[in-house]
Structure 1
């Protein structure tokens, strides 16, 4: 339940008797009701959503969702590959390095760096085409069907990511917003 902290006056979700925003202890009876503004009162949206809703346009909010999906989808196959090979004790230094580099580039993509957007778009386009090529090439060689399916699925996901990064105006608007509203990292 969202309640107002008596110490910092923030609307937060209390899971225990400690405010997650300021760290002060408060009992359930000391807390106030969450503040809702205008039409948000009928929608049930708390005040902490207000910053995003007043400073970002609808296109930027949509771009934020797309960039979040892209940032989660890009390192997913590398993380899965690393986890499987860690269990099998066959870790490759190159896979660990690729996982680290992709995570670092995705971090910079989230903060709106233009170079990261172009690098990720071209990299995912290349990886998507290479994945489809490998799936077609190895289809008749007796390769495991699960591996072929993984090639196809991740190739299509990578092609979707590159398409969104290169063509979607919502993504471009959100990355522009991020460039203007985040400190230098």
Structure 2
């Protein structure tokens, strides 16, 4: 509740409203209205669901490399890690046949997202999935932080084969961002 009030005050301040009007703002605060208030509030608002913003290798399938994970992706691959983050942080029941569409390799994730009517664009928010369409399989990563023109992504099978890494990159590097509802 405190987060919603803080976000509402920040949104009201951005909109030029007095703080009193903000305390009466409806909740929950939308991602779009919080985005307008700035990055620090944007990051906090993305965690109104239990999403534990800790950036660390807490992926539970690292000892099952080469086997299929519970989401029907290969453990140790970027798609498995992203699917796990979506389930764990966003509390969605995401899997390789989410909403009746096969998500497959990373380079087809943005197309699959569009088929199930998810927002796909070039504007990152914490909790989004970054998509790169180049190469044989493409690549996906979880957006852990947004800070102006830079983002921090968490991923598997990019910097190290079948292993965790985090990188700070330009927000313009990925081809697209998939916005899952939370």
TM-score by length of 2: 0.21
Higher strand share: 2
TM-score by length of 1: 0.21
- Structure number with greater Rg is 1
Q: Which gives a bigger RCO, structure 1 or 2 (Cα 8 Å, sep 6+)? A: 1
Higher helix share: 1
